[in-house]
Amino acid sequence: MGRYLTVAAAQFANVVGDIAANMDKHRDHIDRARAAGVDVLVFPELSLVGHNGAENLLDVTMRSDDDRLKALSREAGDMEIVVGFVEEGPAAQFYNAAAILKNGALQYIHRKINIPSYGRLVETKYYSHGRFVDIHRVDPDWAMGLLICADLYNPALTHLAFLHGATMLLAPISSGREAVGDEFDNPASWATTMKFYTMMYGAPGVMANRVGVEGDLTFWGGSRILDAFGNVLAEAGDGEEMISARLDYADTRRARALLPTVRDSNISLVHRETTRLIDNLGVPTLVRDD
């Protein structure tokens, strides 16, 4: 059984709201990735519409069975690609979504849970909140934990993905330098976040960011691939490019033997304490009799 996986991240500047033009960019990267023998190709958050694509919400939404997604999936062939789009779900609810596509079919979909409304980010104006954390299994060894941008800034969501059995973290993001505020270093924050999660959970990670300028945000790129020890295997600059690296499942085995974070997670305690918080309307009890 092969335990190696070649992964790639594609970063580019979107044509905001122009799905057809962005489809062409996806096809170009799919062709390049196929020629390089890539198994998993990750595009940035909202890669089909751009960061500000939802400003024309009803013009850019797609259902999960949209023919354009099917077309990209057919072009991907045996390669798994992670594509970002605005999903129109049941009852006209709209989601910031990422789909895993392969062999003409949608394999898995994640709807962004942590919808930011701070700094220069106003996603709550457009999107409903996703409600589930799960994984997508590639083979007996590799299972993808797919979270979108600010989802990773809620550590509980990442923890859940790994408890579900993820052995790889995929992070399509849309990070502008100015998004949070002048005193907040977004590039340094993402470098720290990805290193922390990959080291803490003994699992490689792929982060794909966009580049270019949209509105008042400057996207800095910096897409990266890290191994299960938090080492950067490949890192992009601030221009359009695709990076790739070969992952070895043996690294995950060694990392998790050294630091068994998943094994030692006390799920029953977390469940008990979460339930207690809910029962107390979010106010923890500081003194107990038992």
d(CA 257, CA 92): 46
Phi, psi of 265 (to 5 degrees): -70, 130
Phi, psi of 103 (to 5 degrees): 50, 40
Binned at pLDDT 50, 70 and 90, residue 282 comes out as low
d(CA 205, CA 225): 6
Q: Which long-range contacts (CB under 8 A, 24 or more apart) does 31-38 make?
A: 32/242, 33/8, 33/79, 33/81, 33/242, 33/244, 34/77, 34/79, 36/6, 36/8, 36/244, 37/6, 38/6, 38/7, 38/8, 38/79, 38/244
Contacts of 91 (CB under 8 A, 6+ apart): none
| 136 bridge partner residues | 144
pLDDT of residue 75: 97
Residue 207 in 3-state DSSP? Answer: strand
- Are 1 and 141 in contact by the 8 Å Cβ rule? The answer is yes
What is the helix (H) or strand (E) element at residue 231, kind and residue range?
none
pLDDT at 284 over 70: no
pLDDT of residue 289: 44
Fold annotation for 4-259: Nitrilase/N-carbamoyl-D-aminoacid amidohydrolase (3.60.110)
pLDDT of residue 24: 97
d(CA 118, CA 150): 11
Average pLDDT, rounded, for the chain? 94
pLDDT at 172 over 60: yes
Report the interhelical angle of 19-35 vs 67-76 (nearest 10°).
Answer: 10
Binned at pLDDT 50, 70 and 90, residue 288 comes out as very low
Mean pLDDT of 139-162: 97
Binned at pLDDT 50, 70 and 90, residue 286 comes out as very low
For the record, the structure tokens of 216 come out as 């008042």
Instruction: Indicate the residue type of 36.
Output: A
For the record, the structure tokens of 221 come out as 């790129």
| 84 bridge partner residues | 98
Mean pLDDT of 103-124: 96
d(CA 48, CA 180): 23
Binned at pLDDT 50, 70 and 90, residue 274 comes out as confident
- Are 69 and 87 in contact by the 8 Å Cβ rule? The answer is no
- Are 168 and 145 in contact by the 8 Å Cβ rule? The answer is yes
Closest CA to 84 of 99, 68, 62: 99
For the record, the structure tokens of 182 come out as 């002048």
- pLDDT tens-digit readout, 198-230: 999 999 999 999 999 999 999 999 999 999 999
Phi, psi of 94 (to 5 degrees): -115, 135
Binned at pLDDT 50, 70 and 90, residue 2 comes out as low
Mean pLDDT of 234-256: 98
